[in-house]
Amino acid sequence: MKRRYDVVVIGAGPAGMAAATTCANAGASLLLLDEQDAPGGQVYRSIEQPGLVDRDVLGPDYYKGEELVQDLRRSQVEYVPSATVWQVSPEREIAFSVNGASQVVSARQVILATGAQERPFPIQGWTLPGVMNVGAAQILLKQSGMVGEGAVFAGTGPLLYLTARQYIRAGATVTAVLDTTPISNYWRALARGFDGLSGWESLRKGLQWKREIRAAGVPIVEGVTGLRVRGDRCVRGIDYCQHGRWLHLSTDHVFLHQGVVPNINLTQSMRCAHEWFPRQLCWRVVTDAWGRTSLPGVAVAGDAADIAGAACAPHRGVIAALGALQQLGRISNQDRDASAAPHRRALAREERFRRFLDQLFQPSESFLVPRGADVLVCRCEEISAGRLREVIAIGCEGPNHLKSYTRCGMGPCQGRMCGLTVTQVLAAELDRPPAAIGYYRLRQPIKPIGLGELAALAQVEAPAPVAFRSKVGAS
């Protein structure tokens, strides 16, 4: 491993793989750092060695990731799996840890492809053992072929139905799907009817998922306006409110989902400019047409910028890579623009449909701002919504103010699981727009690192990268 590269790509999901392959094929020296133990990211996790033999369970969309991985393996990419990036400086020095040993490399260009994370879903009982995000439930299925029997899927968004259908195809029993999509969203989405028609094939697949779930005898309960997970030491059931009436389902597993948002912890800690994105109700990093941020030499690709989905991610990865190659002087402006043109056309079609999806599946405010005083907002420090409101009432006016008074956001996750909720609780209590509230001021390192590891940094040898041009197995 070298100490300096033309390009360092962080994240080996669809956007990161496409960006790395494009740069490497253009002759740039490139290092790909990946927190997972094999390429694919969350969408194509374990794509080379899935935990299921039957390809019909996960469906053809999942196996589209095979081509991206194959292209990556044919390129000249140096790949370091199981690498936790805990710092990126404005001078583009990247510090990462592998197996308890840290290393620092530098780059002329950095492309961040850190992907998305599931939106917090703070309801009563959401921290009980047996409650998981739907994405985590899907990871168990992809990676290990494991399922939670008798689960209740609750929330909104395509992933909710996709994963429920995958569980059914895997032979698992599903108790129910509780859909919290506000009824008013359907009327607002109709105003974007032409955008919806641009993704007719995706709409058709979604309707097929619902038909398949119902055909398996699984009830789909729509118009759910309230949720409470029940249990003492673990989940014993879930209450849901429909048409003003509370009902109960017994279950040992509850899988929650209300969409995904960009993973901004790294870009926030780097002090890249960010903005509130009302359409997706989240913060996003400010980028130009080539994914470039406010920091010179730093670009963002894929859902780490804003949510566009797996179909868009490779195109956005290639566009970010072309921008980096032009900055390095390896291609001209004309070649960059010509190479990017087909990817921009593909993105234009996909992004029209994304506007429709954003309108249809925008979460209800009742699930974004917890109602009950005892609902935990910060899981790491066990800070409740009631405690936050008490501190806001005595004069706290921002996330960092709340952090100082309550330690909310100071745990191991560094605000990933509470940051959005804190912004929205403050906005609701102070009657201000989220853009005026702001976000946590995050500091590096963004992941836990031992003092001994940090002190020994200069003496640690670099981990050996996986050269994809060789015939090595997935690491």
Q: Rounded distance, CA 129 to CA 359, Å?
A: 32
Q: Which long-range contacts (CB under 8 A, 24 or more apart) does 47-55 make?
A: 48/474, 49/474, 50/142, 50/143, 51/141, 51/142, 51/143, 51/144, 51/145, 51/146, 52/141, 52/142, 52/145, 52/170, 54/169, 54/170
DSSP string, 128-143: STTEEEHHHHHHHHHH
* CA of residue 48 relative to chain centroid, distance: 21
Q: How far, in Å, are 32, 442, 459, 460 from residue 97 at the CA level?
A: 14, 19, 13, 10
Whats the size of the chain, residue-wise?
Answer: 475
pLDDT tens by residue, 143-156: 989 999 999 999 99
The reply to whether 142 and 243 lie within a common domain is yes
The reply to whether 130 and 217 lie within a common domain is yes
For residue 37, tell me if it sits in a domain.
yes
pLDDT tens by residue, 24-38: 999 999 999 999 999
Partners of 119 in beta bridges: none
Q: Rounded distance, CA 22 to CA 291, Å?
A: 15
The reply to whether 230 and 168 lie within a common domain is yes
User: Residue 458: what pLDDT?
Assistant: 60
The reply to whether 14 and 108 lie within a common domain is yes
Tally of domains in the chain: 3
**Exposure b/e, 197-233, CB count within 10 A at least 16 = b:** ebbeebbebbeebbeebeeeebeebeebebbbbbbee
User: Residue 189: what pLDDT?
Assistant: 83
Residue type, 36: Q
Closest CA to 8 of 459, 274, 328: 328
For residue 465, tell me if it sits in a domain.
no
Q: Which are the contacts of 473, defined by CB distance < 8 A and separation ≥ 6? A: none
Partners of 102 in beta bridges: 97
Q: Are 318 and 9 in contact (CB under 8 A)?
A: no
- Secondary structure letter of residue 123 according to DSSP: -
For residue 340, tell me if it sits in a domain.
no
- What is the extent of the structural domain holding 401? 368-437
308 φ, ψ (degrees, to nearest 5): -130, -15
For residue 339, tell me if it sits in a domain.
no
Q: Choose the final residue of a domain: 229, 258, 287.
A: 258
Q: Choose the final residue of a domain: 234, 258, 282.
A: 258
For residue 423, tell me if it sits in a domain.
yes
Q: Are 234 and 129 in contact (CB under 8 A)?
A: yes
The reply to whether 309 and 422 lie within a common domain is no
Per the omega criterion (within 30 degrees of 0), is the bond before 90 cis? Answer: no
pTM: 0.93
Closest CA to 121 of 420, 434, 431: 420
* Region label for 409, one of left (φ > 0), alpha (ψ between -120 and 50) or beta (otherwise): left
Q: H/E element holding 343? A: helix 333-360
The reply to whether 234 and 175 lie within a common domain is yes
User: Residue 187: what pLDDT?
Assistant: 87
Q: How far, in Å, are 213, 217, 469, 470 from residue 466 at the CA level?
A: 41, 47, 9, 8
- C-beta neighbour count of 187 within 10 angstroms: 10
For residue 464, tell me if it sits in a domain.
no
For residue 468, tell me if it sits in a domain.
no
Ranges of the chain whose pLDDT falls below 50: 460, 469-475
User: Residue 472: what pLDDT?
Assistant: 33
Q: Are 228 and 238 in contact (CB under 8 A)?
A: yes
The reply to whether 398 and 308 lie within a common domain is no
User: Residue 467: what pLDDT?
Assistant: 55
Q: Choose the final residue of a domain: 258, 276, 295.
A: 258
Q: Sign (positive/negative) of CA torsion 345, 349, 352, 353?
A: negative
The reply to whether 252 and 168 lie within a common domain is yes
For residue 398, tell me if it sits in a domain.
yes
pLDDT tens by residue, 186-214: 988 887 776 777 778 888 999 999 999 99
**Exposure b/e, 376-397, CB count within 10 A at least 16 = b:** bbbbbbebbbebbbebbeeebe
The reply to whether 322 and 286 lie within a common domain is yes
Q: How many helices (H) and strands (E) does the chain have?
A: 18, 22
The reply to whether 191 and 204 lie within a common domain is yes
The reply to whether 412 and 433 lie within a common domain is yes
**CATH for 414:** 1.10.10.1100
- C-beta neighbour count of 6 within 10 angstroms: 21
- Site of tokens 């494991």: 146
**CATH for 194:** 3.50.50.60
The reply to whether 97 and 190 lie within a common domain is no
